[in-house]
């Protein structure tokens, strides 16, 4: 069988690229050895965000009386883990069927099995040899193993978290990044004793230090114990030893930073120092005609970035040229309040030699935030001093992960703080803080 394009891996990079390829008329095969939707849909982004919403809802019920809702006995509230995971799984099932429908609609051949790259234009799967013009590797990544010489029977990989029927009272999470922060807060919200073993000097290592520090303090204030360590010394009889610390622990959830899942290839794929597939500016590997997109190339671990890379490569194959600027893709953290960032960090801009102007406006005076009972947070705009071009935006707010899209639009159009100040925002809305921060940058905020 001869194809225009063969895609290996059906996560948010691979299946989106396949749908796009079908839309533009490329005869496409999508090879997947486990689940359509990959990590993000099946045990990552989607189900974890679903249970996090359940945790937030449970936590919010404790404020019911403040909102004028009486009759709820908070002492009798109980979090039903099984029901929460059932709800998450239903959402996954619905979305999975939607993806399968779109692949079929766009005439994508879905092949189950493990692919072997024979070289340029040739792939073998399930004893079938497939020929093609182009190959895209979209095999993703997987959390690294927890280091340390100890009994690892108590370790739960995030992939298997939703198969756990009963949650213990004492939970340890190991790792770094958005997922470990989100899950730490979730377990705290539902009344578990949580310890976070942070194996990096920064909680959210690719976020602005200002945001990472904010979240670190937030978790500490919620009585989540944070211990800095790279490995676990021992685990015996429900007690975890890390340095001089002894922690009662029933389960260890591995939320380590991820490593590339590199497909089998008869022609060696060149890897970078961190073990990800090395690509050029067009996301092509050292094998001509073979591209690598998403987590596997190490440029980003974010699902929406993976999808954007997939669309970009398919467009490139069709001769459509466009700029690939990963700084225009937001970083989202689904804690409470949420955290989002787009563009460059303060440290990066200073290292690049920019004369910076940093303006921050808090939610404490925002009418909508006060009405919702969620007035913790701020918007922070980083702009260059001479012309006011927006170079970075950071938001902490209840709906920051949605609000960051407005900042993305400004930056995509090379907007300035003057553009932000002149954009009319409805009242009352939380997005009014953009306008206030814009005014703060060019003159004075109205309500500050």
Question: Roughly how many angstroms between the first and final C-alpha of the chain, as a whole number?
Answer: 66
Residue 237: predicted pLDDT: 81
Least Cα distance to 175 among 75, 301, 88, 275 occurs for 301
Each of the 448 residues of the chain gets a pLDDT tens digit; together they read 799 999 999 999 999 999 999 999 999 999 999 889 988 889 889 999 999 999 999 999 988 989 999 999 888 899 999 999 999 999 999 999 999 999 999 999 999 999 999 989 999 998 899 999 999 999 999 999 998 877 778 899 988 998 888 888 999 999 999 999 999 999 999 999 999 999 888 999 889 999 999 999 999 999 999 999 888 888 888 888 888 888 888 889 999 989 999 999 998 999 999 999 999 999 999 999 999 999 999 999 999 999 999 999 999 999 988 888 889 999 999 999 999 999 999 999 999 999 999 999 999 989 999 999 999 999 999 999 999 999 999 999 999 999 999 999 999 999 999 999 999 999 999 999 999 999 999 988 888 7
Residue 56: predicted pLDDT: 95
Bridge-based pairing state of the strands 141-143 and 258-260: antiparallel
φ/ψ of residue 76, rounded to 5: -100, 0
- What is the number of other CB atoms lying within 10 angstroms of the CB of residue 406? 18
**Residue in the structure block whose two tokens are 């794929």:** 269
Distance of CA 114 to the CA centre of its chain: 26
Distance of CA 383 to the CA centre of its chain: 25
Handedness of CA 9, 11, 12, 15 (dihedral sign): positive
Residue 46: predicted pLDDT: 94
Q: What is the 3-state secondary structure (H, E, C) of the chain?
A: CEEEEEEECCCCCHHHHHHHHHHCCCCEEEEECCCCCHHHHHCCHHHHHHHHHHHHHHHHHHHHHHHCCCCCCHHHCCCCHHHHHHHHHHHHHHHHHHHHHHHHHCCCEEEECCEEEEECCEEEECCEEEEEEEEEECCCEEECCCCCCCCCCCEEEHHHHCCCCCCCCEEEEEECCHHHHHHHHHHHHCCCEEEEEECCCCCCCCCCHHHHHHHHHHHHHCCCEEEECCCCCEEECCEEEECCEEEECCEEEEECCEEECCCEECCCCCECCCCCECCCCCCECCCCCEEECHHHHCCCCCHHHHHHHHHHHHHHHCCCCCCCCHHHCCEEECCCCEEEEEECCHHHHHHCCCCEEEEEEEHHHCHHHHHHCCCCCEEEEEEECCCCEEEEEEEEECCHHHHHHHHHHHHHCCCEHHHHHHCCCCCCCCCHHHHHHHHHHHCCCCCC
Residue 278: predicted pLDDT: 96
Q: Do residues 12 and 141 touch, judged by C-beta distance below 8 A? A: no
Least Cα distance to 301 among 393, 379, 204, 221 occurs for 204
Least Cα distance to 275 among 289, 253, 257 occurs for 257
Handedness of CA 249, 255, 260, 263 (dihedral sign): positive
Helix axes 45-60, 178-189, angle to 10 degrees: 30
Dihedral over alpha carbons 96, 97, 102, 103 (to 10 degrees)? 70
- What is the number of other CB atoms lying within 10 angstroms of the CB of residue 3? 20
Please work out, in degrees rounded to the nearest 5, the angle formed at the alpha carbon of residue 333 by the alpha carbons of 329 and 335. Answer: 160
CA distances from 435 to 268, 379, 416, 418, 422 (A): 52, 10, 12, 9, 7
DSSP reduced 3-state for 123: strand
CA separation for the pair 41, 266 (Å, rounded) = 30
Structure tokens at 397: 């707010």
Residue 168: predicted pLDDT: 86
CA separation for the pair 342, 411 (Å, rounded) = 9
Residue 385: predicted pLDDT: 92
Least Cα distance to 358 among 383, 331, 390, 330 occurs for 383
Residue 115: predicted pLDDT: 95
Q: Do residues 36 and 153 touch, judged by C-beta distance below 8 A? A: no
Give all domains of the chain, ordered by start, each with its CATH number.
2-143+259-326 (3.50.50.60), 155-256 (3.50.50.60), 337-442 (3.30.390.30)
């Amino acid at each position: 069988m001869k194809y225009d394009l063969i895609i290996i891996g059906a996560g948010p990079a691979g299946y989106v690229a396949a749908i796009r390829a079908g839309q533009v008329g490329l005869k496409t095969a999508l090879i997947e050895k486990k689940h359509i939707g990959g990590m993000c849909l099946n045990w990552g982004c989607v189900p974890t965000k679903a249970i996090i919403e359940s945790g937030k809802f449970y936590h919010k019920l404790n404020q019911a009386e403040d909102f004028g809702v009486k009759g709820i006995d908070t002492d009798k509230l109980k979090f039903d883990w099984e029901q929460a995971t059932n709800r998450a799984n239903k959402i996954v099932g619905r979305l999975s069927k939607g993806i399968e429908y779109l692949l079929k609609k766009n005439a994508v051949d879905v092949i189950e099995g493990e692919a072997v790259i024979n070289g340029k234009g040739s792939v073998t799967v399930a004893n079938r040899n497939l020929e093609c013009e182009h190959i895209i590797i979209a095999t993703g990544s997987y959390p690294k193993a927890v280091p340390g010489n100890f009994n690892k029977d108590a370790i739960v990989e995030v992939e298997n978290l939703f198969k756990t029927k009963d949650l213990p009272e004492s939970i340890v999470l190991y790792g770094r990044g958005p997922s470990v922060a989100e899950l730490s807060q979730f377990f705290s919200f539902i009344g578990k004793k949580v310890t976070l073993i942070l194996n990096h000097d920064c909680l959210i290592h690719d976020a602005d230090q200002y945001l990472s520090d904010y979240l670190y303090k937030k978790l500490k204030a919620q009585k989540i114990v944070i211990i800095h360590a790279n490995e676990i010394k021992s685990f015996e009889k429900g007690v975890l030893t890390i340095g001089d610390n002894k922690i009662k622990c029933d389960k260890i959830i591995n939320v380590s930073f991820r490593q590339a899942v590199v497909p089998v290839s008869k022609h060696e794929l060149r890897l970078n120092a961190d073990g990800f597939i090395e690509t050029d500016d067009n996301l092509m590997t050292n094998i001509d005609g073979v591209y690598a997109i998403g987590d596997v190339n190490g440029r980003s671990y974010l699902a929406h970035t993976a999808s954007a890379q997939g669309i970009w490569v398919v467009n490139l194959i069709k001769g459509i040229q466009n700029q690939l600027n990963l700084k225009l893709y937001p970083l989202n953290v689904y804690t409470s309040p949420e955290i989002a960032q787009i563009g460059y960090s303060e440290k990066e801009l200073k290292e690049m030699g920019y004369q910076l102007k940093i303006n921050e406006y808090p939610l404490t005076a925002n009418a909508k935030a006060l009405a919702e009972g969620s007035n913790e947070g701020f918007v922070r705009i980083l702009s260059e001093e001479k012309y006011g071009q927006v170079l970075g935006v950071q938001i902490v707010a209840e709906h920051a992960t949605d609000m960051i899209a407005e900042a993305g639009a400004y930056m995509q159009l090379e907007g300035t703080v003057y553009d932000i100040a002149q954009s009319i925002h409805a009242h009352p809305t939380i997005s009014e803080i953009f306008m206030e921060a814009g005014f703060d940058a060019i003159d004075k905020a109205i309500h500050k």
